[in-house]
């Protein structure tokens, strides 16, 4: 009898332990920030061959370097659309990202031109604003001709037709803000840290971005047809530098977009003490922009948190607003640019290193530059 009871207790304890530990493991897996890395071209599709270099090889090397660094962060899970020299259809690349429920999709490519053009540019999905953007989209989308039954898969889409591209529905519209934010981080890292020529953040009708349902960018890391830039990108040193810049951009983005990761930022006790001390100061701000409200955007996330100070490192007041599928969290609200700059500094001292200023006029978001130009102080 005692043996039976003991066995029953052991069995019950085992069930309890399994029930207690399994959800935690699942929660930990779900809480990871999932990044899908896509090395452009591959296999029978070499990409551009500027100066004899192979775009498919350079893109893969850079992606593997990015992944290796990101995988060192226990909060990040990396998924590759390809990690060898194989051909992956554009539609399947998007499906890999969607099935992984990715938080980010990054496609890496190399540019080409019939001149010595140089520099980096990062694309988000949208309608091409000019002929140059259309040429990039046409070149990157032309890979579908290597796929079987591409007419059926892409419902008659013709990469060579501007009308076909313009007719592409922007399925990603709700993620556009986040895609632009990531693209901006990438371009700033290239420009500020590596001193590469900045060709900007652009929009184009790129099929590989159209197939994904999360913030997505296509990064053109430089021109293989440029003698100097092509040699730089074809070498291990250049590939490592470009990869490191993208890694830093992803981490900056994840810190600003994912509130769970923000909690892992290191705190400098002296800086926080200064920030807290500043809270008690009362200052008079004479500059005022009538009809304009400035705010500090701390983060955006699919997570709905109560905008109370304990959830935001002691900052108050914090406002929560729903935009598409994301909740955006703002600290402070003022018509004084001086005051909002002070609040911006306070937020950074609290650990929100990548927070930034936003402006609203009559309830609509406008650029801070437009707000400052709207009237004289």
Please report whether residue 337 resides in a domain. yes
In 3D, which of 216, 219, 284 has the Cα closest to residue 245? 219
Whether residues 239 and 306 share a domain: the answer is no
d(CA 50, CA 162): 25
Q: pLDDT value at position 322?
A: 85
Whether residues 193 and 57 share a domain: the answer is yes
Do 337 and 372 meet the contact criterion of CB atoms below 8 Å apart? Answer: yes
Whether residues 46 and 158 share a domain: the answer is yes
Percent of the chain with pLDDT over 70: 69
Quick: pLDDT tens for 315-331.
888 888 888 778 888 99
Average pLDDT, rounded, for the chain: 75
d(CA 209, CA 219): 11
Q: How many CA atoms lie within 13 A of 321 on its CB side?
A: 12
d(CA 96, CA 105): 10
The burial class, CB within 10 Å (0-12 / 13-18 / 19+), for 163 is exposed
209, 233, 257 — which closes off a domain? 257
Q: pLDDT value at position 148?
A: 47
Please report whether residue 316 resides in a domain. yes
Domain that holds residue 116: 23-257
Q: How many CA atoms lie within 13 A of 64 on its CB side?
A: 11
Counting the structural domains of the chain, the total is 2
Q: pLDDT value at position 226?
A: 97
Place of tokens 């184009």: 204
Whether residues 140 and 241 share a domain: the answer is yes
CATH of the domain at 357: 3.30.70.1070
Residue 280, token pair as written in the block: 């008690």
Average pLDDT over residues 302-308: 81
- The reported pTM is 0.59
CATH of the domain at 92: 3.40.630.40
Please report whether residue 127 resides in a domain. yes
Is the confidence at residue 141, as pLDDT, over 90?
Answer: no
Please report whether residue 17 resides in a domain. no
Please report whether residue 187 resides in a domain. yes
Q: Identify the DSSP state of 230.
A: H
204, 225, 257 — which closes off a domain? 257
Whether residues 140 and 282 share a domain: the answer is no
Is the confidence at residue 340, as pLDDT, over 60?
Answer: yes
Whether residues 161 and 300 share a domain: the answer is no
Whether residues 313 and 217 share a domain: the answer is no
Residue 261, token pair as written in the block: 């990761």
Whether residues 233 and 283 share a domain: the answer is no
257, 286, 317 — which closes off a domain? 257
State the pLDDT confidence band at 310, using cuts at 50, 70 and 90.
confident
Is the confidence at residue 301, as pLDDT, over 50?
Answer: yes
Q: pLDDT value at position 49?
A: 94
Do 62 and 242 meet the contact criterion of CB atoms below 8 Å apart? Answer: yes
Is the confidence at residue 271, as pLDDT, over 60?
Answer: no
In 3D, which of 292, 246, 266, 278 has the Cα closest to residue 107? 246
d(CA 35, CA 70): 9
Whether residues 161 and 90 share a domain: the answer is yes
Q: pLDDT value at position 63?
A: 97
State the pLDDT confidence band at 30, using cuts at 50, 70 and 90.
low
Whether residues 105 and 72 share a domain: the answer is yes
Chain centroid offset of residue 245 CA: 13
Is the confidence at residue 306, as pLDDT, over 60?
Answer: yes
Please report whether residue 102 resides in a domain. yes
R_g of the chain computed on alpha carbons: 24
Quick: pLDDT tens for 203-262.
776 766 667 778 889 999 999 999 999 999 999 999 999 999 999 999 988 877 655 443
Please report whether residue 368 resides in a domain. yes
Whether residues 42 and 117 share a domain: the answer is yes
Least confident of 84-93, 96-105, 277-286, 293-302: 277-286
Please report whether residue 279 resides in a domain. yes
Of 159 and 114, the structure prediction assigns the larger pLDDT to 114
d(CA 367, CA 360): 8
Q: pLDDT value at position 208?
A: 63
Whether residues 186 and 290 share a domain: the answer is no
């Amino acid at each position: 009898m005692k043996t039976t009871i003991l066995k029953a207790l052991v069995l019950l304890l085992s069930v309890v332990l399994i029930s207690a530990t399994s959800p935690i493991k699942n929660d930990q897996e779900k809480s990871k920030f999932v990044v899908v890395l896509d090395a452009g071209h591959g296999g029978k599709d070499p990409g551009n061959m500027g100066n004899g270099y192979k775009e498919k090889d350079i893109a893969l090397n850079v992606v593997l370097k990015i992944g290796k660094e990101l995988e060192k962060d226990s909060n990040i899970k990396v998924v590759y659309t390809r990690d060898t020299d194989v051909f992956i259809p554009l539609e399947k690349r998007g499906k890999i990202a969607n099935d992984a429920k990715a938080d980010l999709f990054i496609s890496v490519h190399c540019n080409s031109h019939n001149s010595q053009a140089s520099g980096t540019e990062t694309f988000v999905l949208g309608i091409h604003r000019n002929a140059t953007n259309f040429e990039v989209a046409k070149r990157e989308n032309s890979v579908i001709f290597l796929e079987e039954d591409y007419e059926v898969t892409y419902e008659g889409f013709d990469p060579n037709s501007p009308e076909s591209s313009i007719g592409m529905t922007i399925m990603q519209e709700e993620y556009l803000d986040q895609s632009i934010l990531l693209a901006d981080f990438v371009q700033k890292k290239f420009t500020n840290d590596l001193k590469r020529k900045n060709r900007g953040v652009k929009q184009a009708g790129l099929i590989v971005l159209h197939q994904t349902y999360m913030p997505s960018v296509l990064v053109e890391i430089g021109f293989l047809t440029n003698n100097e830039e092509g040699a730089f990108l074809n070498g291990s040193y250049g590939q490592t530098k470009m990869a490191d810049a993208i890694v830093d951009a992803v981490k900056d983005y994840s810190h600003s977009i994912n509130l769970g990761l923000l909690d892992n930022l290191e705190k400098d006790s002296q800086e926080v003490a200064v920030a807290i001390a500043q809270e008690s100061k009362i200052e008079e701000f004479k500059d005022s922009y009538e009809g304009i409200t400035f705010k500090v955007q701390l983060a955006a996330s699919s997570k709905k948190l109560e905008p109370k100070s304990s959830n935001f490192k002691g900052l108050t007041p914090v406002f929560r607003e729903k935009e598409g599928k994301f909740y955006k969290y703002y600290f402070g609200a003022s018509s004084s640019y001086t005051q909002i700059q002070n609040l911006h500094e306070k937020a950074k001292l609290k650990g929100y290193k990548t927070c930034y200023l936003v402006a609203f006029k009559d309830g609509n978001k406008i650029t801070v530059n437009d707000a400052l130009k709207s009237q004289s102080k």
